[in-house]
Amino acid sequence: MKNKLYSVIFSLLILTISCAKLDLAPTDSISPDKAYRNLNDVNMGIIGAYAVVDYTPISLVSTVSDEAMYPTENTVGNSDAFRWLYNASYGSVTSLYYEYFRGIDRVNRALEGMSKLEIASGDLALANRYKAELLGLRAYFHFELLRNYAAKYETGALGIPYMKSSGVIYPARLNFDQVITEVKNDLVEAKPLMPSAFNDKTRITKTAISAIQARVALYEKNWGDAITYATEVINAFPLATKTQFPGLWTDANDSEVIWKAKRVGTTDSRVGDFYYRQTGGIVLYAPAQKLINTFDQTNDLRYTAYIKYDATRTGTKSKYLVNKYIGGTATAPGLTDIKLYRTGEMYLIRAEARAESSGDAAGDINTLRAARINGYTDQNFADKNALIEAVYAERFKELAFEGHRFYDLRRRSMPVQRLAADAVNASGAVELLPTKAQYAFPIPAQEMLINKNTKQNPDY
């Protein structure tokens, strides 16, 4: 009996010691409440969140829309995405979901850590700027996720979760309009905190917040706000001159760039390498003939800035290349800054909003064309439909390979339609109708398995 008692006491002692060991603080990681000790730590957290902006859906938008074609020489590219064969298990269309929610988590952790700091009066302005950047980034990431994963861009449609804390385990999807409201709230809170003098284009500034607000208003169909915020940007950043414009895409200047993802080294992602593998000389995606046909190839500066024709490429090789990101250096070809927001887009946002409301959009359309096309003369437009068609035609050209086309078609429930010449390797993927599941990207399969509160987009 005594031996059994000793055995029980010994077991309890071991259990107590084990539990005590489990309560020890880990030595190989930083406790969240100690990660943000000062504003320098907050800035490091912000930089960590900006790093996620490096992951861009630009190439994905080109793949699934009608602005690029799949050349025969491409034996390594993402053909399933181009052919609209993707589902919830395809990383090509779901990776962004995890990447941007990772960025949002970094933002929320920095905001939570910052809220516990005692800010000296002399550091208040800097603290306010950091908070504004974090709120701006949170709004940006959520809105980009919404553009990709909302079932539709309309009130009541399934949107995405809006994460304002790092502690929510099973977030539910809000509706599209609810997400828009949360995005707007973050931007409204951020804007007065941001000093007007701060002008680092690699970070969010007050003008960048206005640019995000303008884009959000466009998708909300809030035409008054779209005009107001686009005008704020246009007044602060004029269009590039004809002399400046070609250099915009080789990083010789950033004349009308509002916010950009700076590319600095060989480890940074290279959008140019997605279109043209300079190691091996393989064109993965070429400009669609449908896009090429829209340009005045003689007078439109955008044609040569965006598209390169190489007659020496023969046989099954594409003679056309995407020229927009072909720069970089000898050690990092295709490494050029990603222009996240620029003034050209703002003119088109304001033009569309004016066409939908006041009807005086012709001035913005003509101003943009005159800045891009040699010898351009102003045109008149018969009615609202003519104005909208002109805006969409101009967005197709002006914003080619900048990550807008697929979303633009979805904003008006228009099908993705490819020319026969652009669908030669598409296995019949010529038209994607709004009624098809692939017209919106799926919520990742892993998220569906883990998150009991989420729902999949229709028909997946």
pLDDT in tens, 74-106: 988 778 999 999 999 999 999 999 999 999 999
| pLDDT the model gives residue 266 | 66
| pLDDT the model gives residue 31 | 57
Q: Are strands 307-309 and 320-322 parallel, antiparallel or unpaired?
A: antiparallel
- Of 14-23, 93-102, 208-217, 323-332, the poorest mean pLDDT is in 14-23
pLDDT tops 50 at residue 212: yes
pTM comes to 0.92
Domains and CATH numbers, the chain: 39-416+434-450 (1.25.40.390)
Band (pLDDT 50/70/90 cuts) for residue 330 is: low
- For the segment 115-167, what is each residue's pLDDT rounded down to a tens digit? 999 999 999 999 999 999 999 999 999 999 999 999 999 999 999 999 999 88
- For the segment 41-54, what is each residue's pLDDT rounded down to a tens digit? 999 999 999 999 98
Mean pLDDT computed over every residue of the chain: 91
| pLDDT the model gives residue 152 | 98
- For the segment 10-44, what is each residue's pLDDT rounded down to a tens digit? 343 333 333 333 344 444 445 556 789 999 999 99
Q: How far is CA 224 from CA 85, 349, 387, 412, in A?
A: 39, 11, 17, 19
pLDDT tops 90 at residue 168: no
- For the segment 416-457, what is each residue's pLDDT rounded down to a tens digit? 999 999 999 888 899 999 999 999 999 999 999 999 999 999
Tell me the average pLDDT across 238-265. Answer: 93
- In whole angstroms, give the CA distance from residue 124 to residue 256: 31
- For the segment 374-417, what is each residue's pLDDT rounded down to a tens digit? 999 999 999 999 999 999 999 999 999 999 999 999 999 999 99
Cβ-contact 328, 266 below 8 angstroms: no
- For the segment 338-356, what is each residue's pLDDT rounded down to a tens digit? 999 999 999 999 999 999 9
- In whole angstroms, give the CA distance from residue 106 to residue 402: 25
